[in-house]
A and B are shown apart, each in its own frame.
Chain A
């Protein structure tokens, strides 16, 4: 056999068999389940009289609908409440492990998977959620699926798949001081576009990726889907292994060491062939702010809002015009002149302990600016929240004028009460700036936690390195 990519290795290890059309039956080791994309799947099982193939390979948690304050009141929206109660009922009926709303381990599905060691290198992991790509940071083949496929995995532990193309994105050299994983991934999407990864699995490599913590790597892989990729991957190294040691769902003792030896082989071989290679010079990456309604509409904080008239592709130019109209922005406006109304620090992209530390470091000793109506910090899980509180981060945020909330997806997609009103502008550490994503008519600017914190304390976007 010739040199293999990490993706080749993961793929080959999971093919049960290949059918006459050349499609593979791929074995799925792990499935994360949440309340929004699972009810119809469980109902499908029930109607067909089927049981889960394995119950020990699934972990369920409500996250999208959960309120982030006054938890003792439960969920006041009756429709949201029914959805969460339906998850409880289905998990109970089918024998699936569930972290309920009151459980200290509850949180955003893509935060708790890694935190619990449920995500393991060399595994295939799926979830009815596009940001499942997050887990690729551990050298796991992880991707989002629809509800029919959730049901298929429950019933058969497999999916029918075709192998994707491979795209290597190498971020070479070191990033400058103050440049974070979020800036790296936004710069990548700005470079290759939101369809740049379509049909591909992206492997992120290079010194700048190796230098990231596991939290940072999760941020990068999380947004692989915003580049259109099927999955994002990062090869295993000692950071991966150190992160997993002692986690509840990871193996322990001698078995952990045996597993770790196998995990160390989960890197692309030297000379392995990729269908496409993109190289990015890490030193050129600056703090990023999105100005439009697609993550590819992004610019360095020192830049100006671009002019659609300068775009030669008519479909793209029209998209830009529509985006600027929706965003209430004029071409040529300095990004630093844009003033958010709200600040959201959270989501499966940026709600881990390191994200909260980075934001708190900027906020410490400062106050939320007068023009900011609401500044929210929503930790990714109950355990992240407890850790942050043990470090005193909650007090830093609260003293500055932020609200310190309970874990959940919150204002990333506004399925709970946390949302933007029409026309409101938000500096958000989430992953999508689509029209209406954070509330109908809401205007989203995607940034890193440090940049969101900087906007909170100054009232406008600013290069956090200047503070």
Chain B
């Protein structure tokens, strides 16, 4: 995974609550056995007027003019502003794969669904929880004639509104932060603790031996 770098980016507002992972990437695209190439199908049913299928060339598909990512102001957005319970539903990691592949690097919302939230960090995406009134304020500004640009500083845990210079602090789990900044391979890190895992297995195998063998 690439280390997460500070950047200044464009914000796109998606003003609906409970955006589920079926909406982020519909089921027909889950048939892929690859990890890449989901970006053109991100929000497929909201973004296009026709029915999408895997492998389609999206450059000629009819766009839904009502959908925010089709608004000229928000082209090449890298920060998604969302409402509560973003990413609810299915555990599909295809959702963060699609968001990252499209070009998003940060998602701001008052709350996220748990599995989606964890999946983001595995893919270099930073989900940030902000207070509901801060989110409301950002929505208000995002709809102005000038799209909103934000500076994202992960080490300092700070967002800066480029136009007003206003700063917003945010929280992030120190483990998640460390792995994002270093672009660490989680599995490699865990395997460095193999002795502890083996010691646990030896202990647990005595307490609950039925968990350590399979069907007769």
Once A146-B91, A195-B84, A319-B18 are accepted as A-B contacts, the answer to whether A16 and B193 lie under 8 Å apart by CB is yes
A166 in contact (CB, < 8 A): no
Find the residue from A36, A97, A157 having the highest chain B CB count within 10 A. Answer: A36
A252 in contact (CB, < 8 A): yes
Nearest residue (CB) in A for B114 is: A230
* CA A319 to CA B18, docked complex, whole Å: 9
Contact pattern, B 168-204, Cβ under 8 Å of A = 1, otherwise 0: 0000011100100000011100110110110011001
Contact pattern, A 27-45, Cβ under 8 Å of B = 1, otherwise 0: 1011000001101100100
* CA A13 to CA B211, docked complex, whole Å: 13
Q: Is the CB of B17 within 8 A of A82?
A: no
> Using Cβ atoms and an 8 Å threshold, which residues of chain B touch A27?
197, 200-201, 204
A336 in contact (CB, < 8 A): no
Query: Which chain A residues (67-115) contact chain B, with CB distance < 8 Å?
Result: 77, 79-80, 82-83, 86, 97
Q: Is the CB of A86 within 8 A of B33?
A: yes
B47 in contact (CB, < 8 A): no
Q: Is the CB of B23 within 8 A of A436?
A: yes
B40 in contact (CB, < 8 A): no
Nearest residue (CB) in A for B209 is: A255
Interface size class of A (residues with CB under 8 A): 35 or more
B22 in contact (CB, < 8 A): yes
* CA A116 to CA B33, docked complex, whole Å: 28
Q: Is the CB of A436 within 8 A of B16?
A: no
Q: Is the CB of B191 within 8 A of A155?
A: yes
Nearest residue (CB) in A for B45 is: A436
Once A27-B200, A56-B213 are accepted as A-B contacts, the answer to whether A228 and B190 lie under 8 Å apart by CB is no
Q: Is the CB of A198 within 8 A of B114?
A: yes
Query: Which chain A residues (181-211) contact chain B, with CB distance < 8 Å?
Result: 194-195, 198-199
Once A194-B18, A199-B114, A432-B89 are accepted as A-B contacts, the answer to whether A120 and B35 lie under 8 Å apart by CB is no
> Using Cβ atoms and an 8 Å threshold, which residues of chain B touch A57?
214
Once A39-B33, A195-B88 are accepted as A-B contacts, the answer to whether A315 and B17 lie under 8 Å apart by CB is yes
Q: Is the CB of B85 within 8 A of A158?
A: no
Once A37-B93, A435-B22 are accepted as A-B contacts, the answer to whether A21 and B209 lie under 8 Å apart by CB is no
Contact pattern, A 105-137, Cβ under 8 Å of B = 1, otherwise 0: 000000000001010101100001110100000
Query: Which chain A residues (157-182) contact chain B, with CB distance < 8 Å?
Result: 157-158, 160, 162, 164
Interface size class of B (residues with CB under 8 A): 35 or more
Q: Is the CB of B17 within 8 A of A435?
A: no
Nearest residue (CB) in B for A255 is: B210
Of B23, B91, B113, B193, the residue contacting A228 (CB under 8 A) is: B113
Q: How far is the CB of B200 from chain A (nearest CB, A)?
A: 4
Once A40-B33, A148-B123 are accepted as A-B contacts, the answer to whether A130 and B115 lie under 8 Å apart by CB is yes
Q: Is the CB of B210 within 8 A of A437?
A: no
* CA A129 to CA B84, docked complex, whole Å: 22
A357 in contact (CB, < 8 A): no
B64 in contact (CB, < 8 A): no
Q: Is the CB of B91 within 8 A of A248?
A: no
Q: Is the CB of B187 within 8 A of A195?
A: no
A374 in contact (CB, < 8 A): no
A151 in contact (CB, < 8 A): yes
Q: Is the CB of B186 within 8 A of A65?
A: no
Count A-B contacts at CB 8 Å: 199
Nearest residue (CB) in B for A77 is: B31
Q: Is the CB of B91 within 8 A of A145?
A: yes
Contact pattern, B 15-41, Cβ under 8 Å of A = 1, otherwise 0: 111101011001110111111000000
B59 in contact (CB, < 8 A): no
> Using Cβ atoms and an 8 Å threshold, which residues of chain B touch A53?
197
* CA A179 to CA B194, docked complex, whole Å: 49
Find the residue from A116, A120, A294 having the highest chain B CB count within 10 A. Answer: A294
> Using Cβ atoms and an 8 Å threshold, which residues of chain B touch A21?
173-175, 178
* CA A250 to CA B122, docked complex, whole Å: 34
Of A36, A148, A158, A318, the residue contacting B119 (CB under 8 A) is: A148
Q: Is the CB of B16 within 8 A of A432?
A: no
Q: How far is the CB of B99 from chain A (nearest CB, A)?
A: 13
Of B54, B214, B216, the residue contacting A252 (CB under 8 A) is: B216
Q: How far is the CB of A166 from chain B (nearest CB, A)?
A: 14
Q: Is the CB of A440 within 8 A of B17?
A: no
Q: How far is the CB of B101 from chain A (nearest CB, A)?
A: 13
Once A37-B92, A440-B45 are accepted as A-B contacts, the answer to whether A195 and B123 lie under 8 Å apart by CB is no
Contact pattern, A 303-328, Cβ under 8 Å of B = 1, otherwise 0: 00000000000011011001000000
8 more A-B residue pairs beyond the given contacts A198-B111, A435-B45, with a C-beta to C-beta distance below 8 A: A16-B196, A16-B197, A22-B174, A22-B175, A25-B190, A36-B30, A129-B91, A158-B197
5 smallest CB-CB distances across A and B, nearest first, come from A146-B93, A148-B122, A146-B119, A251-B210, A39-B33
Q: Which residues of B contact A (CB under 8 A)?
A: 15-18, 20, 22-23, 26-28, 30-35, 45, 51, 54, 83-85, 88-93, 96, 111-115, 118-119, 122-123, 173-175, 178, 185-187, 190-191, 193-194, 196-197, 200-201, 204, 207-216
A-B contacts, 30 of them at CB < 8 A, read: A13-B207, A17-B196, A21-B178, A25-B193, A36-B31, A57-B214, A129-B90, A130-B89, A130-B90, A147-B93, A155-B187, A156-B197, A194-B85, A198-B85, A198-B111, A199-B114, A228-B113, A249-B215, A252-B216, A294-B18, A318-B15, A322-B16, A413-B27, A432-B20, A432-B22, A434-B20, A434-B22, A434-B89, A437-B27, A440-B26
